[in-house]
Amino acid sequence: MKDFVDGAAFNNEQGNRARKLFAAVVLAALDDAISDDKKYGNGPDQIARWARSRDGREVLSCAGIDPNERVVNGLMEFVSKGVRTSVALSREESERRHAAAAAAQAEAA
């Protein structure tokens, strides 16, 4: 019984590592699309084309993301904002967004 539990825990951990690896590929694709958007102005189209492709859908699925049209629209919106993923995922950016949202909410009230 102990071997089964150890094996299941190991398999779960391997699955989590694989999911994180594919999530990193998605983040890299977003960064590439953002740089294309800055250079050529076609970043949202590039990420949409990638996300709708067979490879893109496979990578999104392996990352634990359901590859539907809502996700594609979200990726396109993210790329159109032009904020690199490393900056968007940083604590400072998160705090700045929360402060801006709180200020907007206080202004509306």
Domain-by-domain residue ranges, the chain? 2-108
- The pLDDT assigned to 92 comes to 80
- Which residue, 9, 10, 13, 18, is CA-closest to 63? 18
pLDDT at residue 66 greater than cutoff 70: yes
> pLDDT of 10-60, one tens digit each?
788 998 999 999 999 999 999 999 999 999 999 999 999 999 999 999 999
- Name the helix (H) or strand (E) containing 45: helix 43-52
Averaged pLDDT, 87-99:
80
Q: Compute the distance between CA of residue 46 and CA of residue 50 in angstroms, rounded to an integer.
A: 6
* Cα separation, 36 vs 84, whole angstroms: 12
Q: What percent of the chain has pLDDT above 90?
A: 61
- Which of the two residues, 35 and 95, has the higher pLDDT score? 35
Biggest CA-to-CA distance, the chain: 60
